[in-house]
Amino acid sequence: MEHPVTPFEFKSADSTIALLRDPYRFVSRRSAELGEAVFETRLLLRRTTCMTGAEAAGVFYDPARFQRAGAAPPPLQKTLFGQGGVQGLDGEHHRQRKAMFLQINHPDRVEALADVVTREWERAVADWAAPDQVDLYPEVQRLLTRAVCEWAGAPLSEAEVDLRTRQLTALFDAAGDVGLGHLRSRAARRAAERWAADLIEQIRSGQLAVPSSSAASVIANHQEPDGRPMAPRVAAVELLNVLRPTVATAVYIIFVAHALEANPAWRERLAQGDGAEDMAFIEEVRRTYPFFPAVTAIVHEAFQWRGHDFPEGRRVLLDLYGTNRDPRAWEDPERFDPERFLGDDRDPFAFVPQGGGDPAVHHRCPGEPISTRLMGIALDQLVRHLTYTPVRPAAPIDYRRLPALPKGGYRIQNISPRH
């Protein structure tokens, strides 16, 4: 096992500040400078090996070499992830818990969510006709919160919608903050876990009746490998693992709006088309826009790769953003070109916006069918059901923010339904 580094070593060679300054591009830029897909540094006082590119992703997703227990940075456990959830499990326990998410996100259930989300878009659009301007990011967070809570069996009263939207958003939107933002995110996690644990207990006791296919019911009734239900706090973490990232799809939806504006010829092509090319546009948004910068794991069994030692206990960080733009796998990677997704299938480890590998076996996100479906609904609304004008020309993306967003947000005006 590795020893923690001393404060002196930390001062001399820690890259934490460089990573915080440029969380999406730090690894790929350093890797390009060094001419290597893998390099060692120190992050948050720990020796860390950083890797980028499709080949590195293939190595990273080998469960024989890596484990996730103990890999998540503690500040993110207290905000984004919570404790005891699927992200930190390994082996058979992980596979069992993961099967629960694949059941929750079964294709029929994705379509059921799509129906509720479409209805909420229509309701929101009717409200947007009145104000001068609409700030799209918070509006989409609210409509997704309403929809996902209804669909997941976590019913909200009208008076609760704003509170739950703020809480679920603070879990991802302020998770990377330091100082006050971080404290706000921790407080949101405590409150949201209390609420979700209470729902689970109400379902288990029969006080709250929800459909058996809903996420809350599946989680409340899930059996662990020892045959027992999850502790209410852990079940709450898993319910939030469905609600939080569905609301976080608001970030991708802002990127869809931004990309439509930045690529008017594509906007026109999609408006004239029958929807067959929508998914190519969405995939190119997921490839090029910065959302989830990197994932971490711990070396479980020592090995060597590309002349580098990976000793047991070493933390390893895989660069997702840079892998999606790696010039070894993508021609002219900086160019926004949805046509690259109209062709054949590609290397599954070259396109990793939500992780790589097989979602049933590896830690790859089980929510991709949901995020891409909800992005598709937003694209359809923005291109075919609404007329609007952006308040300002599309602002550049703020790469220092986590998650990144256009500087100053994304506001639209003169909104009306297209007849």
Instruction: Give contact residues for ligand HEM (rule: CB under 6 A).
Output: 86-87, 98, 101, 105, 241-242, 245-246, 248-249, 252, 291-292, 295, 320, 354-355, 363-367, 370-371
Bridge partners, residue 38, by sequence: 51
10 Å CB burial of residue 77 (0-12, 13-18, 19+) is middle
Closest-by-Cβ residue to ligand HEM is: 367
- Using an 8 Å Cβ cutoff, are 364 and 57 in contact? no
CB of 362 to ligand HEM, least distance (A): 7
Copy the structure tokens of residue 195: 């609420």
The secondary element (H helix, E strand) that includes residue 18 is helix 16-21
CB of 368 to ligand HEM, least distance (A): 7
Considering the complex, state which of residue 14 and residue 173 has its C-beta at the smaller distance from ligand HEM.
173
Copy the structure tokens of residue 271: 């408006």
Q: Where are the alpha helices (DSSP H) in 47-131?
A: 54-60, 74-76, 91-104, 107-128
Considering the complex, state which of residue 52 and residue 354 has its C-beta at the smaller distance from ligand HEM.
354
CB of 98 to ligand HEM, least distance (A): 5
CB of 85 to ligand HEM, least distance (A): 7
Considering the complex, state which of residue 63 and residue 333 has its C-beta at the smaller distance from ligand HEM.
63
Considering the complex, state which of residue 48 and residue 87 has its C-beta at the smaller distance from ligand HEM.
87
Q: ∠ CA(176), CA(397), CA(297), 5° rounding?
A: 40
CB of 78 to ligand HEM, least distance (A): 17
CB of 251 to ligand HEM, least distance (A): 6
**Residues contacting residue 179 through CB under 8 Å, at least 6 positions apart:** none
Considering the complex, state which of residue 84 and residue 367 has its C-beta at the smaller distance from ligand HEM.
367
Considering the complex, state which of residue 291 and residue 415 has its C-beta at the smaller distance from ligand HEM.
291
- Using an 8 Å Cβ cutoff, are 235 and 198 in contact? no
